[in-house]
């Protein structure tokens, strides 16, 4: 069965351009603002949306995304509300893929079967669960695949050729290559090293490879997009959201439009890599 992710990456490949993958945290800082932003992302150039599942201890995330998770939880975030966001988004957009990204604890707390049923009903397309290794695939990965969801696995600079086959075994949709060793938003990726890593991964899989962690500017987005099948940007967008909150943690008037303007600039960086490749 072809998923929204499969279709989107196939379309992008036929057009000869990389994917612009955006990340925001669900309910940051509240449901209404999050939904406004979510609905605006495709028009701002996002090809795939990663929606963070708020969690109290996001250990792989840097300060910006950790803070966004805390704001979301303070604003009343729950797994149920996160899925309601997806459902509300799907009322107007049935094409843009949405991947839920985060940690296993909130899913486990809800119950895997109940979560997968609710996620597929809401219109979720895939999962990235950063703290479940391949050895635990029977826990969530295999049931998710059987439910028709893509399960996206992370590869890192320390994932060697011996480990890579295990990482890729049940991966679908795309491979998420973490361009730096460390937490999100903590350093700037080396484009040359990224290009070599992407080539190495592609020797093991036919799946698209999207690169994330540390991409903050349109120029960096352009460079990374030219070396991979997609660029993932999260911390820069989440930081833009934080900058648009007042002293009470509420969005300023026109905040979503200004955040989306910054997203559009990042999208232009990715899309200019496409234009260069098309020449």
- List of domains in the chain: 4-278 (3.20.20.70)
15 tagged catalytic: no
The pLDDT of residue 189: 73
CA distance 73 to 278: 44
The pLDDT of residue 109: 95
The pLDDT of residue 184: 52
Which of the residues 28, 47, 50, 137 is marked catalytic?
50
Supply the pTM of this predicted model. Answer: 0.94
Which of the residues 28, 30, 61, 125 is marked catalytic?
61
136 tagged catalytic: no
The pLDDT of residue 201: 95
CA distance 131 to 137: 11
- Residue 185: left (phi > 0), alpha (psi -120 to 50), or beta? left
What is the chain's pLDDT, residue by residue, as a tens digit (279 residues)? 789 999 999 999 999 999 999 999 999 999 999 999 999 999 999 999 999 999 988 776 788 999 999 999 999 999 999 999 999 999 999 999 999 999 999 999 999 999 999 999 999 999 999 999 999 999 999 999 999 999 999 999 999 999 999 999 999 999 999 987 655 555 567 888 899 999 999 999 999 999 998 899 999 999 999 999 999 999 999 999 999 999 999 999 999 999 999 999 999 999 999 644 444
């Amino acid at each position: 069965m072809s998923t929204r992710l499969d279709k989107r990456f196939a379309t992008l490949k036929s057009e000869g351009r990389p994917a612009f993958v955006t990340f925001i945290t669900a309910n940051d800082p509240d449901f209404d603002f999050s939904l406004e932003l979510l609905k605006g992302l495709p028009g701002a150039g996002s090809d795939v949306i990663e929606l963070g599942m708020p969690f109290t201890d996001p250990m792989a995330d840097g300060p910006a995304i950790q803070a966004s998770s805390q704001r979301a939880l303070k604003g009343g975030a729950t797994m149920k509300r996160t899925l309601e966001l997806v459902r509300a988004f799907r009322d107007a957009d049935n094409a843009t893929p949405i991947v839920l990204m985060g940690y296993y604890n909130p899913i486990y707390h809800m119950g895997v079967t109940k979560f997968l049923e609710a996620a597929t009903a809401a219109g979720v397309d895939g999962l990235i669960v950063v703290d479940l290794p391949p050895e635990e695939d029977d826990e969530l990965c295999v049931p998710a695949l059987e439910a028709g969801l893509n399960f996206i696995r992370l590869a890192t600079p320390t994932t060697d050729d011996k480990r890579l086959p295990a990482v890729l075994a049940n991966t679908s949709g795309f491979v998420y290559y973490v361009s730096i060793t460390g937490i999100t938003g903590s350093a700037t990726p080396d484009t040359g090293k990224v290009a070599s890593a992407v080539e190495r991964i592609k020797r093991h899989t036919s799946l698209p490879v999207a690169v994330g962690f540390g991409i903050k500017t349109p120029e960096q987005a352009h460079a990374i997009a030219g070396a991979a099948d997609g660029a993932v940007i999260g911390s820069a967008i989440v930081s833009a959201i934080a900058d648009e909150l007042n002293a009470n943690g509420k969005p300023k008037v026109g905040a979503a439009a200004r955040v989306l303007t910054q997203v559009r600039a990042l999208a232009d960086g990715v899309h200019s890599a496409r234009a260069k490749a098309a020449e």
